[in-house]
Amino acid sequence: MNQAIPAVEQHYHIQDLIDKQTKRSEDREYHRERVKRIEERDQVLRDSKSHVLTDFWCDKCKEDFKSTAYRQVEVDWTNSAQRIAFYKTKCWNGHWCIRQITDKHKDAFYTKSKLVRLDQGNHYADTVQPYETGFNLLYGKKDYANIK
């Protein structure tokens, strides 16, 4: 009748308390991060200008152009904290084009624009790291034995 006594942490009541406390901590951290993201989004909105001269990409014309654009902010009616800001203008052929202010990762300009791809190509050699293929071709192989 010698039963093994479980460790205190293994007891189901204690394990239930530990799980609840862990969940509370995760929820608290989630809400802190959420408030931080909302404040950062609001700061981006406050810092953005009402109109700017910037580059755009027209999906229909398949070309880059520079134009004066005006800021628009749209609010999600189900969640007033979720605001999306963007610059909007028309290309020379009358097609609407937008550039994201708050959600830059969704901005199609960076993936479709020929100017961005050309700029990336011009600066490709600047971003090659010593461990990457082509580094020795661009910069030559150093002779570490003769360095004093």
- Say if residues 113 and 65 touch (Cβ distance below 8 Å): no
This model's pTM is above 0.75 = no
Residue 99 CB-density burial (10 A; 0-12 exposed, 13-18 middle, 19+ buried)? buried
* pLDDT computed for residue 103 by the predictor: 83
* pLDDT computed for residue 114 by the predictor: 85
* pLDDT computed for residue 70 by the predictor: 92
* pLDDT computed for residue 2 by the predictor: 58
* pLDDT computed for residue 133 by the predictor: 76
Low-confidence ranges of the chain (pLDDT < 70): 1-6, 124-125, 142-148
Please give the Cα distance from 52 to 67 (Å, whole number): 8
Alpha-carbon distance values, 30 to 35, 40, 89 (Å): 9, 15, 37
Please give the Cα distance from 62 to 92 (Å, whole number): 12
Please give the Cα distance from 69 to 107 (Å, whole number): 15
| Residues belonging to the chain | 148
